[in-house]
Amino acid sequence: MTTLLHIDASPRPGRAGTDEHGSHTRRLTDHFVTQWRRRRPGDTVVRRDIGARPPALTTVEWIQAAFTAPERHQPWMREVLAESDTLVQEVLDADVLVLGVPMYNFSYPAAFKAWIDNIVRVGRTVDFDPSNPEDSFTPLLADRPRHAVILSSRGDHGMNPGGPLAHMNHLEASVRTALGFIGIERFHEIAIEHQEEGGERLDASIADALSRVESLVDELQQSREPVPACA
């Protein structure tokens, strides 16, 4: 069985194409999960809407608790880290992370940054060994293959690798850096562009993104099909 972690970071509550002022990234993540369940209805999907309910920002109390050895945790420290512990466990349990992340001012929304800050945890998702200064960090999620599917939307266009505005896109690269740091190394990226322009170009970009989502679902599911035992 495969476990999907479905994250939506857009503050828009609805889906584009269905709801007025709906979110394009929510439309993509919903399409991905719907297509996945159509073929594998028994798989687990864990949904977290950080656009509607952003994770708490890191505080001095959070930092103190996170960098205190678990055996020395006081009750207030466990309380401060409770939400982070839940978010970390969801990532640990996931095989495929389905991340709906719109581009805001060349990167991702603050809610998604808060989620990243809560799941990159020394002792939980990455280890630190000060005695080895040349290679002091060890990712803890490299124990098995995990995929991160980054489904984004952009107001402008030409921000894919090699595009004329690629240098202004700090979203996907930042996600890859943070998740790669903890051991997630398989990334897939699909984005809708022309959102500000609208019209035919936006419609074409949406259609292309939805088609690519379907192809990606097929690709990932085929790669996870069990191998029949030899007779």
**Phi-psi region for residue 183, left (φ > 0), alpha (ψ -120 to 50) or beta?**
left
Q: Is 112 annotated as a binding residue?
A: no
Instruction: Please give the structure tokens belonging to residue 8.
Output: 């939506």
Q: Is 106 annotated as a binding residue?
A: yes
Give the pLDDT of residue 214.
97
When pLDDT is cut at 50, 70 and 90, the band that residue 230 belongs to is very low
Instruction: Please give the structure tokens belonging to residue 171.
Output: 């979203």
When pLDDT is cut at 50, 70 and 90, the band that residue 231 belongs to is very low
Query: What's the predicted TM-score (pTM) here?
Result: 0.92
Domains plus CATH for the chain?
Answer: 3-223 (3.40.50.360)
Q: Which residues contact 170 (CB under 8 A, 6 or more apart)?
A: 106, 107
When pLDDT is cut at 50, 70 and 90, the band that residue 225 belongs to is low
Provide, for the chain, the percentages of residues in helix, strand and coil under a 3-state DSSP scheme, each rounded to the nearest 5.
40, 20, 40
H/E element, 63 = helix 60-66
Instruction: Please give the structure tokens belonging to residue 199.
Output: 């019209």
The SS3 call for residue 122 is strand
Phi first, then psi: give them for residue 47, nearest 5 degrees.
-105, 135
Task: Report the pLDDT averaged over residues 85-109.
Answer: 97
Q: Is 128 annotated as a binding residue?
A: no
Q: Is 10 annotated as a binding residue?
A: yes
Query: What are 143-185's pLDDT values in tens digits?
Result: 999 999 999 999 889 888 889 989 999 999 999 999 999 999 9
Residue whose entry in the numeric block shows the structure tokens 């930042």: 174
Q: Is the pLDDT of residue 121 over 70?
A: yes
Q: CB burial class (10 A; 0-12, 13-18, 19+) of residue 70? A: exposed
Give the pLDDT of residue 229.
38
**Phi-psi region for residue 11, left (φ > 0), alpha (ψ -120 to 50) or beta?**
alpha
Query: What are 185-202's pLDDT values in tens digits?
Result: 999 999 999 987 888 999
Q: Is 108 annotated as a binding residue?
A: no
Q: Where are the beta strands (DSSP E) in 10-136?
A: 44-49, 96-100, 126-128
